[in-house]
Structure formats: C-alpha cells, structure tokens
Amino acid sequence: MKAQSLIVVGALALGLVPSAPLAAKDDFGLVQPAANVMLEASSGQTTLALNDHYLREMGVKLSGEIGERDIHGFLPVHGTFAGLLQFTPEGAGISEFSKADANARWPVSLVRRDGAKITLQNLTLVPGNWAGGGDSLLRAIDADGDPLLDFSLVHHKLHGAVRVELMNGDIRIAPKLAQWIGLPEVTEATIGQFSLSASVRAPLGFSAAPKSCNFVYWPGSTKPAGPALVKTLLIRLGDSAGGSLAAACAGSCTGASAARVVKITPGATIANSTDSDAAHVPWYPMFSSANRPGWPPVNPPPVSGQPNYPYATLDAHPMLVWSVYRINSDNQIEQIGRSGVKHAFLTINRNCLPGCNVNGNILGPGCDDIYSIGNNDSNGFLGVRSEIDPLGGMHGRCQSTFDTNCDGATGPGVVGAANNFDRRLMVVERDLAPGLNPSARWFLESWYIVRDQVNPLTAMGSQQFTPAFGTVWTVPVVTSGAGAFRQGAAIDRWVDPANPGANAASTHVKSDNGSFKVAVRATPVGARWRYDYAVFNIDYARRIVPTSGQGSAEPNLCLASNSGFGSLSVPVSSVDNIANLSHFDNGAPASNDWAGSAGANAVNWSAPAGGTVTRCGLSFAQPDNTLDFGTLFRFSFESDAAPRAGRVTLTEATGAAAAVTASVLVPANLDVLLEESFE
C-alpha cells in the first residue's frame, strides 16, 4: 500500500555572522551580497522523484512510503533533513555548499531481484564537486562515508533572504550503488529528480539579489555598444564533462530488436554571450501572466528611451529539441531519432558578467543555465514540434496540446506528455546496435530555439556517443578528439563546410522563411558514382496563421502549419544512367516515404499526398511527412557522371509552394546539358 505524501516544514536556521560587510556595490552601482557571506539551513524537506522505469530495467524495485505519480511521470519519496547546510549566495541563487553535514531520511528502500535491500532512510548530505567545476551540488553518503547518490545539475533559488530551494536536479547513481546493483556500467546514470526546501535566517542587512536594476537590455533596445542582440550559445551536452546521456527501453530490449525502441535524453547547458551587445533573454514559463509574482520583468521601469519588455506574450522562453544521427561505415548520414519540444521555465544564471543578474526568469549577459536529464525527461514540459514557429522562436499555444481551448491557461485535457515515452526521442534498437552497424558513429544534436536569436547554429551543438547493450542500454558521450562536443549542426560532422574534402560540398542557405543546409558526397562505386544528399532544415517554415481574430497574433497565437519542404530536385543529363534511388526519413512507415523518380533532366523526390488540414479556423491542403524544422532527410542514387558544380531545388510543402535552390555538386554531364539547352 502506498502511503500518503507528507510535507514537513523545515525549522528556521541561524545564519552565520560575518566579519566582513554584508553587501557591496558592483560596477553598475547595484547592491550585491559580499563574496564571503555564508547562510545556513538546519532542517527542511527534500524529495526524491524516482524514475521507476529506469530502475526496473536495472532490476531494482522500490519499497516504502511512495507518493502518487507526479505530473512529470516520476514517483515521489518525501523526506526530511536535519543538520548543517552552509552555502554562499550568488545573485538570486547560490554559489556552492561550503559545508554540509545533514542527516537525510527518505522512507524508501531499493530492492534487488535477489531480495537484497539498501535503505535510503539514514544517509548524510555532503558537498559535491560543484566548487571544483563539477556537476554535483550535493551527494548522499552512507554510514561508511561512500557516496550512493549524486545530486547534479540542480536549479537553485533564494526566495528573498527567507528560504532556499533546490529543484530539478538529476539523481545519479554513484559507483558503490552501481556495484551493489550489479551493473557497474550504470555509474552516473540518472534515475530521477532531486529537490530540497529549507528556511534560512540571514544576517541583518543581507540582500539576496540586486536591490535595483535599470540595466535590462531586451532585444531591440540600445546598449552602449549598439543594438542589443540575442546571441546565446549551447556550450555542453551530456550530463557532465565526462558523463553520459540517459537511455531507457520501451519494453524488454534485446540489444538488436527491430520492434523495440530506446529513449535517449540529454542534459544541456546554454550560455548568453559575453559580447558587449548581448541582450537579456526572457525565460518565463508557459502561461505566465501579468498577475504572477515578479511581473513586470523590468522593475523599476526601463532606462529612459529604452523599450520595455518587447513581446506581446508574457511567457516567452527558449525551447529545446534534440536528435540522434548515425554516420554509417559506407559514409551515409541518417537522422534516426527526433524528440518533441522541451519548454524551458527557469534559469539559474551562473557565471554572469558583473551587474544585472536580475532573477531566474531572465538570462543575463555571460550567464549560463543548466537543464538536466531528469528535467528534459519530465512529462509536464514536453510539447510537440508542430506548435512551434522555429524562425520566430514562438510557441503557438492557442489550440496547442497545452491550451486546447485558447483561454490562455493549461488544459482542458492532456497537458504535457501522456507517459514516460510520449514526445521523447525514440530510436529503434537495431539502429543503435554496434554489431548490426559495424564502424558506425552516433551523434546527439541539441538545439535551443531562442526568440530573436541572431544565429541559430550557435545555440546548437553535437557530440558523439558510444551505444552499448549489456543488461541495459548505456550511451556515454565522447569527451575528447573528433567526437567531442562541437557547436553547430551534426550535418557538419558528415561534410565539414570549412573543409569538405574531395567530391563533397556543403552550403547554408538563408531566406526570409528560415534557413537550411544541403550537403553532398559523391563516392566512386566501381566505374560509377553514388550521390548522397543530406538536407537539414534548420528553421525554414511556411507559417500559416489566421489573418485576423483569435489565433492571429500573440499572446494566443494559433499555428495552423509550420511545414517545411515537400520536394527535392537534382539536375541530371539524359545519358547519366540514373539507378538505385533511395531515401531515408528517420524510419517513417514505408507508406510515408517520399516517391523518387529519374527523368531525362532531373531526379525528383516528393512527399506523399496528404489531405486537407483544418486547424485554427483554416482549411488547406498539405502533404504528409514533410521535411520540417530540425529534421534531416537523406536522398541517394547512382550515376555514370562524375560530380560537377550545380544547384538543387527544394519546394515548400504548403501555400504557394515557393522554390529555393542550393549550390552543391550534381552529376550532370555538362557537355550534354549544354547541348540539350539549345534544342
């Protein structure tokens, strides 16, 4: 029987009395806490929200006082702590735990298949490796002093000078617990989310954040260096510098099944630029309103002559998507998995430039933020890609899965993902199996879609990982050499735009409707050539919205369509002897494949016929399986002709079906093309 969840309110704790001043003014004249001020908490509440699916795959069950499954799909175990937690404040959050020695009691045990148990009812919280540049803010050790759990990539917040809150942190398995489970390979695996809340009492005069801030430069405002620009940077993937992604099976995996799928989830770290023209970036959760605490976002009003908050919607925030690619031994690239959309809601603002660290809903210049694996794998913040305007960085929330009736609030009906595999990145097991894909390389690509971002590719990055199956799937990332993290799109791992090599080319096309990349490799096959074209739609979309009335504009924008491309044409000559056409579209059903045909002057592919879409009060025709934002399709064929410079044509899937071209390599016989052009 599951026990009712209990909430235990922590007692007030005495703050340390520092000998140095409590606050000082920075270069902007803003009041900041002195660097050596320490705060303490002596008791409070803490929760382990456990992913029981991951644990079951490892052969571990839960036994004890377990709450009902939460909105994110995890099982909460509510506990308490008592003892010393001493930390240094930083802006509206904390810098580090300088001292920790607190007894933590979570009323639950982990049970192995053989019946052996390990209890979490009497552990000790100690500082992690955060101060040394690691990811672990706190860790839980057993009576022998050995870590069992690490709490990493934790969001943290000081509420005035009254309460400290830790939330959305990954719960990672420490080496001793992995050994006890019998699976050393799951060391550092994420099994849920950690939170902690406690009261603090600060020294007299302490300020938990700047007392005033007139230096919020929203996009479009004017900084001393010029117009304020959004220039965010994805700076890391995986769950740590030497860590891994998270993998879980939907069903019982075998390591090579064509029927089972594997969920892959990354952690990600994004930073704002340190450039002198970097704008502040809004980070407000969905359905924020003018009545929410902390609104308006500029307080007091902005500098004279500067624009206030520039957007019609009060809940502007970045959105995260991720994909998995495989580069095969024959040097073909394939996108084998895509996620839904993770909606961001809070930034911890680490490492900010001096000055305006405003609050957890604004990413200031130089600040970075963490989204952990557990956070990115939580049901409540996962949406679908069809609701996103990728070029504008906007969420069409009206008639979305979060707001079905356009009233500006969540519901009615399903909000977020329906279960722990819905709206996730899912890869068929056989597509990950090293034995079935010898000499293949796998890459994870993540991308923060940020409103008004100058260059979307700087908010995107990729990293190689090495999938392996024993009892469970593990996906550790490569941290050095050619496979290490790199900013930009994963397609650049296949053909480097700066150094494409022989018989290869890559081009980046930008237009008013967005941008895309086309890369090509021509590979000798006996006396013939195989041409592989990879088309990566970055943020190109033909946005269809009502022209007036409800849904036509923010805050309740209704996005009827954000489709990308519906056809590709590659010029050839009549004597090129085209054969062996193929197309890879991320494992869509064969009935949804793009149809390919070789004509006298071109090889053409087109999306399958769809039907009439009725949405947002509009009706229009749209094909199925369109090449939309964040998606890569591969198109291949063989030809007698060697590669030459030429242009391929992509056509939009909806609306006026406008065509755009990209300069790459084509197999057309130049002499024959010239002759045919005069006929």
**What three-state secondary structure class fits 251?**
coil
Kindly state the tokens that stand for 438. Answer: 């010898």
Amino acid 132: pLDDT: 64
Which residues lie closer than 8 Å to 674 by C-beta, 6 or more apart? none
Percentage, residues of the chain above pLDDT 70: 86
Amino acid 356: pLDDT: 55
What would the pLDDT profile of 451-464 be if each residue is shown by its tens digit? 999 999 999 999 99
- Long-range CB contact pairs, 212-215, < 8 A, 24+: 212/30, 212/31, 212/300, 213/30, 213/298, 213/299, 213/356, 213/358, 214/300, 214/302, 214/303, 215/28, 215/30, 215/303, 215/355, 215/356
pLDDT (mean) for 498-516: 97
Amino acid 206: pLDDT: 66
Q: How far apart, in whole angstroms, are the C-alpha atoms of residue 542 and residue 653?
A: 8
Q: How far apart, in whole angstroms, are the C-alpha atoms of residue 57 and residue 49?
A: 17
What would the pLDDT profile of 224-277 be if each residue is shown by its tens digit? 888 899 999 998 886 554 456 888 898 889 999 999 999 999 988 999 999 999
Amino acid 25: pLDDT: 33
Q: Which of 24-28, 190-194, 569-573 has the lowest mean pLDDT?
A: 24-28
Q: Is the dihedral of CA 327, 333, 334, 338 positive or negative?
A: positive
User: Is 305 a residue whose pLDDT tops 90?
Assistant: no
Please tell me whether the peptide bond between 667 and the residue prior to it is cis, using omega within 30 degrees of 0: no
With residues binned 3-state (H G I as helix, E B as strand, rest as coil), the percentages for the chain, rounded to 5, are 10, 40, 50
**What three-state secondary structure class fits 103?**
strand
Percentage, residues of the chain above pLDDT 90: 64
The separation between the first and the last C-alpha atoms of the chain, rounded to the nearest angstrom, is 83
Query: Who has greater pLDDT, 199 or 671?
Result: 199
pLDDT (mean) for 525-543: 96
User: Is 576 a residue whose pLDDT tops 90?
Assistant: no
Give the CA angle between residues 231, 496, 474 to the nearest 5°. Answer: 80
Q: How far apart, in whole angstroms, are the C-alpha atoms of residue 497 and residue 383?
A: 32
Amino acid 310: pLDDT: 86
Query: Who has greater pLDDT, 18 or 109?
Result: 109
User: Is 153 a residue whose pLDDT tops 80?
Assistant: yes
Predicted confidence band of residue 279 (pLDDT cuts 50, 70, 90): very high
495-677 topology per CATH:
Immunoglobulin-like (2.60.40)
How do 319-327 and 341-343 pair as beta strands? antiparallel
What would the pLDDT profile of 633-666 be if each residue is shown by its tens digit? 999 999 999 999 999 999 999 977 899 999 999 9
* C-beta separation of 376 from 432 below 8 A: no
Which residues lie closer than 8 Å to 380 by C-beta, 6 or more apart? 71, 72, 415, 416, 417
Q: How far apart, in whole angstroms, are the C-alpha atoms of residue 155 and residue 485?
A: 23
Q: What does R_g of the chain's alpha carbons equal in angstroms?
A: 27
Query: Who has greater pLDDT, 518 or 301?
Result: 518
* Secondary structure letter of residue 437 according to DSSP: S
User: Is 27 a residue whose pLDDT tops 80?
Assistant: no
Predicted confidence band of residue 14 (pLDDT cuts 50, 70, 90): very low
pLDDT (mean) for 269-291: 86
Q: Count the Cβ atoms, other than its own, within 10 Å of residue 448.
A: 26
User: Is 213 a residue whose pLDDT tops 50?
Assistant: no
Amino acid 72: pLDDT: 84
Amino acid 158: pLDDT: 83
Give the CA angle between residues 435, 440, 446 to the nearest 5°. Answer: 120
Q: Specify the DSSP element, H or E, that contains 368.
A: strand 368-371
pLDDT (mean) for 116-136: 87
Query: Who has greater pLDDT, 247 or 677?
Result: 247
What would the pLDDT profile of 369-421 be if each residue is shown by its tens digit? 888 888 899 898 999 999 999 999 999 999 999 999 998 888 777 678 888 89
pLDDT (mean) for 507-524: 97
Q: How far apart, in whole angstroms, are the C-alpha atoms of residue 246 and residue 264?
A: 6
- Distances in whole angstroms, Cα of residue 520 to Cα of each of 186, 524, 536, 663: 38, 13, 11, 10
What would the pLDDT profile of 72-122 be if each residue is shown by its tens digit? 889 999 999 999 999 888 767 787 888 999 999 999 999 999 999 999 999
Please tell me whether the peptide bond between 300 and the residue prior to it is cis, using omega within 30 degrees of 0: yes
pLDDT (mean) for 196-203: 86
User: Is 33 a residue whose pLDDT tops 70?
Assistant: no
What would the pLDDT profile of 37-75 be if each residue is shown by its tens digit? 788 999 999 999 999 999 999 999 999 999 999 988 899
Query: Taking the domains of the chain in order of start, what are their residue ranges?
Result: 1-212, 495-677
